[in-house]
């Protein structure tokens, strides 16, 4: 089985992203499953960041802490990350020589042969490609594609730089690098969570995206703004997150599918707007890309610390949808579902991701676009005589029109209102309006999909997790089972309303979450009455991986 992890580390601004991304693309081009993630500091220059690439012949899509191959662009990063290299791993270095070291002076080569240090990164990718035993042709294809917009000279110089790095490393590798990644015919998609969400939103018919920049959510509006001409989507950078959520609500009231995105701090500013969407029964989709908090926290790192906050976001009682997709493919389909359900139940939907899912590149074998259905729930105005936007009925779902659609007037109020949408102090009516809104919650609950079960029938111990940690949890189940432990997993991606689900009795449940207090565990106790035997938490800003989970599980 092929499963190789590579770490490229360096200071911000040195180009480890370029190296890591090019290497990931090259492995993908060669027909392998690739998973890559980054951990970086909140700065534009300096510091110490790393880009991790895991290459395998089977789908993994989860991070690993230890590396088989390590390369660093500066001394400080080398000192910090070198301990992550396995004892039998290979170091690729500019200066150092040794038994397990491949020496390629990429900066010097770039300067000497290509007259510019900028080519050092390409020389380095060439070297890593050789160490991995990938054919040079795959890298050449990626370079030609990625640099295409920069002109023929740049392309050809980069091709030569890559070839030079490849040649030197190949020579040094002889008898020392054990890997050969022969070109395979398979071709997979390599895509990040943010990109998949942006595409999914567009597929769902989102025509209005407004946001205030906040890491790690910014990539979504950036993507949509870049592609607005072909996707026909209106994008706008709001003056603040309060404006963003209210603009999205305004656009939705006017009949367009609309969304916004932020991280915890910006989402906190949107909370009053969420309540407004609940009261005016306006469909709204918000992406909450989590990062470690409280307050500004660790802006560029990952955490799942906002689950209970999201579920409870908004003053007052009204139905709300909260999803936390596992990976980009799930994110793509989930956001379409979020738009459909927000539309059907006329209420806000929150998609929770985190820095890990937003920024990481996952391999997707097949997007299954044929399974995607986008369905609008606006009614036909011609069939209505006396239009009441908030008509009381059995389902609580009133007919939704948009203003200017017909002669019917569409009136919405943030105050308690009558069936026409006019402000009221009729307390009997108030009661009925509360009940109307909550009826939708009951129906919505029936729509929620139960959690995914993995090897639970014979398992004595079951991990319970949610959102982006799915693949790490499934992997630790595989690893533990290979070692004879009877474990399984239950993974939630639809979190509010909590789906109807029976937890198998007589099992030991362990919650696995990227937070300190076990927020899913609290929900399981309060809503399912499930007693959690133990909690495995990670809150150092790094993503959960199978080694981390296994270590905590086995050593308590």
Partner 1 sequence: MVKIEAYRSDAENQWCPGCPNFGILAALKNALVNLGKKPEEVCLVSGIGQAAKMPHYLKCNFFNGLHGRTLPVAVAINVVNPELITIVVTGDGDCYGEGGNHFLHNIRRNPNITLIVHNNQIYGLTKGQASPTTEAEDKTRLQFEGVELEPLQPLAIALLHGCSFVARGYAGDFKHLSNLLVEAISFKGFSYVDVIQPCISWGTHSVSWYREKIYKLPQEYNPRDKEEALKKSAEWGDRIPIGIIYRDDKPHRLFGDYFRKNIFDGKLTELGCPPQRLIAEMIERYR
User: How many whole angstroms separate alpha carbon 178 and alpha carbon 90?
Assistant: 10
CB of 259 to partner 1, least distance (A): 12
Residue 225 contacts partner 1 per CB under 8 A: no
- If the CB atoms of residues 186 and 296 are measured against partner 1, the closer one turns out to be 186
58 touches partner 1 by CB under 8 A? no
Helix (H, G, I), strand (E, B) or coil at 132: helix
Q: Is 162 exposed, middle or buried (0-12, 13-18, 19+ CB in 10 A)?
A: buried
Subset of residues 419 to 438 that bind partner 1, contact rule: CB under 8 A: 421-423
Q: Verify binding: residue 194, partner 1, rule CB under 8 A.
A: no
Q: Between β-strands 189-192 and 348-354, what pairing exists: parallel, antiparallel or unpaired?
A: unpaired
* Stretch (H or E) spanning 490: strand 487-492
Stretch that binds partner 1, among 149-157, 236-244, 504-512, 532-540 (CB under 8 A): 236-244
Q: Binding of partner 1 at residue 246 (CB under 8 A)?
A: yes
Q: Which stretch binds partner 1 (CB under 8 A): 222-230, 427-435, 465-473, 500-508?
A: 222-230
Contact call for residue 207 and partner 1 (CB under 8 A): yes
Nearest to 513 by CA among 477, 549, 474, 551: 549
Q: Contact with partner 1 (CB under 8 A): which of 47, 65, 255, 265?
A: 255
**Contact in structure between 433 and 316 (CB atoms under 8 Å):** no
Beta bridge partners of residue 288, listed in sequence order: 262, 352
- 3-state secondary structure labels for all residues of 302-362: CCCCCHHHHHCCCCCCCCCEEECCCCHHHHHHHHHHHHHHHHHHCCEEEEEEEHHHHHCEE
Residue 249 contacts partner 1 per CB under 8 A: yes
Contact predicate 532/511, CB 8 Å: yes
Site size with partner 1, rule: CB under 8 A:
66
Helix axes 152-173, 136-146, angle to 10 degrees: 160
The answer to whether residues 487 and 481 touch, using CB atoms and an 8 Å cutoff, is yes
Alpha-carbon span 457 to 402, nearest angstrom: 50
Among 367, 390, 463, 509, binds partner 1 (CB under 8 A): 367
Contacting range for partner 1; rule: CB under 8 A; set: 109-117, 312-320, 346-354, 403-411? 403-411
Burial 88-125 (b: 16+ CB within 10 A, else e): ebbbbbbeeeeeebbbbbbbebbeeebeeebbbbbbbb
Q: With binding defined as CB under 8 A, does residue 369 bind partner 1? A: yes
Interaction between residue 248 and partner 1 (CB under 8 A): yes
Complex with partner 1: residue 318 or 510, whichever CB lies closer: 318
User: Which has the closest alpha carbon to 499: 323, 254, 305, 242?
Assistant: 323
Range in contact with partner 1 (rule: CB under 8 A) among 59-67, 319-327, 409-417, 499-507: 409-417
Which residue(s) pair with 286 in the sheet?
260, 350
Q: Are 353 and 304 a contacting pair, CB within 8 Å?
A: no
CB of 405 to partner 1, least distance (A): 7
Q: Give 283 or 518: the residue with its C-beta nearer to partner 1.
A: 283
Residue 53's beta-bridge partner residues?
Answer: 6, 36
66, 141, 228, 430: residue in contact with partner 1 (rule CB under 8 A): 228
Stretch that binds partner 1, among 182-190, 296-304, 390-398, 530-538 (CB under 8 A): 182-190
State which of residues 42, 103, 160, 374 lies at the interface with partner 1 (CB under 8 A): 374
Q: Which residues contact 423 (CB under 8 A, 6 or more apart)?
A: 413, 415, 416, 417
Binding flag, residue 48, partner 1 (CB under 8 A):
no
Nearest residue (CB) to partner 1, 161 versus 224: 224
**What minimum distance in Å lies between the beta carbon of 556 and partner 1?**
42
| Binding of partner 1 by 415 (CB under 8 A) | yes
Q: What are phi and psi of 130, to 5 degrees?
A: -65, -45
Site for partner 1 in 435-474 (CB under 8 A): none
Stretch that binds partner 1, among 7-15, 70-78, 312-320, 367-375 (CB under 8 A): 367-375
Q: Does 416 bind partner 1 (CB under 8 A)?
A: no
Q: Which is nearer to partner 1, 384 or 412 (CB)?
A: 412
Residues 46 and 77: beta-carbon distance below 8 Å: no
**267-306 mask for partner 1 (x: CB under 8 A)?**
-----xx--x---x--------------------------
Site of interaction with partner 1 (CB under 8 A):
187-191, 195, 199, 202-205, 207-208, 210, 227-232, 234, 236, 238-240, 242-244, 246-251, 253-256, 258, 272-273, 276, 280, 364, 367, 369, 372, 374, 376, 402-415, 421-423
């Amino acid at each position: 089985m092929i499963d190789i992890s590579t770490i490229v580390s360096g200071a911000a601004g040195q180009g480890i992203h370029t190296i890591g991304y090019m290497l990931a693309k090259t492995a993908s081009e060669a027909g392998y499953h690739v998973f890559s993630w980054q951990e970086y500091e909140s700065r534009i220059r300096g510091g110490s960041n790393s880009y991790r690439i895991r290459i395998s012949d089977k789908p993994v899509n989860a991070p690993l802490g230890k590396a088989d191959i390590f390369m660093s662009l500066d001394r400080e990063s080398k000192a910090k990350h070198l301990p992550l290299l396995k004892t039998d791993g290979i170091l690729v270095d500019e200066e150092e020589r040794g038994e397990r070291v491949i020496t390629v002076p990429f900066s010097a080569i770039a300067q000497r042969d290509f007259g510019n240090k900028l080519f050092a990164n390409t020389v380095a990718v060439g070297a890593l490609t050789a160490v991995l035993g990938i054919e040079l042709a795959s890298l050449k294809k990626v370079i030609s594609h990625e640099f295409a917009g920069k002109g023929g000279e740049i392309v050809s110089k980069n091709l030569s730089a890559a070839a030079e790095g490849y040649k030197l490393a190949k020579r040094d590798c002889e008898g020392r690098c054990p890997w050969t990644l022969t070109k395979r015919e398979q071709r997979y998609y390599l895509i990040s969570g943010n990109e998949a969400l942006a595409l999914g939103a567009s597929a769902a018919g989102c025509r209005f995206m407004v946001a205030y920049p906040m890491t790690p959510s910014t990539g979504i509006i950036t993507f949509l703004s870049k592609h607005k001409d072909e996707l026909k989507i209106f994008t706008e950078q709001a003056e603040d997150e309060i404006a963003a959520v209210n603009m999205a609500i305004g656009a939705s009231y006017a009949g367009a599918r609309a969304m916004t995105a932020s991280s915890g701090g910006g989402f906190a500013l949107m909370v009053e707007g969420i309540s407004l969407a609940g009261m005016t029964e306006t469909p709204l989709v918000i992406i909450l890309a989590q990062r470690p908090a409280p307050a500004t926290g660790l802006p560029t790192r990952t955490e799942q610390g906002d689950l209970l906050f999201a579920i409870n976001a908004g003053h007052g009682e009204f139905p709300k949808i909260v999803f936390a997709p596992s990976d980009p493919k799930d994110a793509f389909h989930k956001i379409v579902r979020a738009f459909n359900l927000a539309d059907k139940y006329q209420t806000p939907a929150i998609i929770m991701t985190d820095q890990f899912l937003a920024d990481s590149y996952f391999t997707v074998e097949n997007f299954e676009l044929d399974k995607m259905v986008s369905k609008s729930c606006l009614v036909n105005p011609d069939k209505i005589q006396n239009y009441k936007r908030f008509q009381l009925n059995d389902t609580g779902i009133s007919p939704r029109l948009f203003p200017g659609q017909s002669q019917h007037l569409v009136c919405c109020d943030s105050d308690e209102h009558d069936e026409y949408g006019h402000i009221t102090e009729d307390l009997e009516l108030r009661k009925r309006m509360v009940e109307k809104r909550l009826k939708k919650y009951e129906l919505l609950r029936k729509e929620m999909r139960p959690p995914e079960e993995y090897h639970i029938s014979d398992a004595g111990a079951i991990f319970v997790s949610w959102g982006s940690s799915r693949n790490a949890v499934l992997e630790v189940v595989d690893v533990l089972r290979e070692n004879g432990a009877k474990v399984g997993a239950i993974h939630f991606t639809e979190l509010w309303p909590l789906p109807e689900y029976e937890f198998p009795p007589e099992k030991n449940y362990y919650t696995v979450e990227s937070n300190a207090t076990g927020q899913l565990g609290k929900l399981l106790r309060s809503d399912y009455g499930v007693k959690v035997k133990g909690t495995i938490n990670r809150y150092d800003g790094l993503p959960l991986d199978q080694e981390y989970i296994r270590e905590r599980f086995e050593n308590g």
